[in-house]
Amino acid sequence: MTDRYAVIGHPVAHSKSPWIHAEFARTCGQDIEYTRIEARLDGFERAVDAFRAGGGKGLNVTLPFKEAAFRYCSRPSERARRAGVVNTLSFGAQSSGDTTDGIGLVTDLGKQGVRLKGVRVLLMGAGGAAQGVAGALLDAGVAALVIANRTVGRARALAERFPGLRACGYGDLEGKTFDLIINATSAGLEDKAPALPSGVMGKAAFAYDMVYGRDTPFLASARAAGARTSDGLGMLVEQAAESFFIWRGVKPDTGPVLARLRAA
Ligand code: NAP
């Protein structure tokens, strides 16, 4: 019998995950079906329960349900517990939860030749995406990790979860420079950028926007400052590969899938 998986979110119609997982399944010879579930904002648990009752094996969880997924699962992994978010649910007698955004980001950065050990990193945003990657960046041995957010209290709350992380507002960054600047805000989706003081982005910096499929104002200003840049398409594919591995025990080759997405 074909095992069933899906991505659940609101909205979810734009999600590339069904295509990515279909490619992984095809190239790894795995018999799976992967669909989309648009849950009502107040209907996450009900939608997950219904999917499980129908024999569903696992879910990817996207905006705005990653914290709800953490609360839902009975067996969160260590890294999910640390982050307080889950993007991968697996169902058996119990529900296990993991977060693969962090490993997805770190793998993509590594493939682009970006060193993490000993570098100074600015992480912008304090939502589900920032929550999911902060632990992986600290584990990769960065020299400093500063988290800046429009709503400073949210950044401070995140810093309390992760010893070693420092929180502030964008205005507090005046006069500071970083080797790697990661935009984990959704500002780019509205063609906006966080109000970063000029000078924070040096010529030697690498600027990474988790938003993908569009040239965001953040990436444009980074290029203008002479920085190297990347969107988040590679992270999307790498985090999906980690989810696929959790479910199927097989690691897909991500290179050709990313190349085909870029070409499209
Ligand atoms: P979220 O929980 O809704 O958080 C949104 C964040 O963006 C908050 O920190 C918010 O600040 C900030 N923000 C929104 N508009 C802003 C603006 N105009 N100026 C400054 N800050 C602004 O969303 P999320 O789950 O963290 O996701 C964030 C982005 O990452 C989304 O675009 C998502 O698609 C992307 N993402 C990509 C991948 C990937 O694989 N590439 C994985 C995960 C997420 P406040 O707290 O002040 O509201």
211: CA distance to ligand 1 center in Å?
9
Rounded (5°) CA angle 231-237-238:
100
pLDDT in tens, 102-140: 999 999 999 999 999 999 999 999 999 999 999 999 999
pLDDT in tens, 59-106: 999 999 999 999 999 999 999 999 999 999 999 999 999 999 999 999
pLDDT at 144: 96
Pocket test for ligand 1, best of 147, 186, 214 (most atoms within 8 A of CB): 186
The number of beta carbons lying within 10 Å of the beta carbon of residue 131 is 27
DSSP assignment string, 16-69: -HHHHHHHHHHHHT--EEEEEEE--TT-HHHHHHHHHHTT--EEEE-TT-HHHH
SS3 6: strand
Question: Pocket around ligand 1: residues whose beta carbon is below 6 Å from it?
Answer: 63, 101, 104, 125-130, 149-151, 154, 184-187, 189, 192, 194, 210-212, 232, 235-236, 239
Could you give the CA distance from residue 167 to residue 108 in angstroms, rounded to a whole number? 25
pLDDT in tens, 182-228: 999 999 999 999 999 988 987 779 999 999 989 999 999 999 999 99
Sign of CA dihedral 61, 66, 72, 77: positive
223: CA distance to ligand 1 center in Å?
21
If phi > 0 it is left, if psi is from -120 to 50 it is alpha, else beta; for residue 35 that is beta
Could you give the CA distance from residue 139 to residue 130 in angstroms, rounded to a whole number? 14
Residue nearest atom 44 of ligand 1, based on CA coordinates? 129
Could you give the CA distance from residue 34 to residue 56 in angstroms, rounded to a whole number? 10
Which pTM was predicted?
0.97
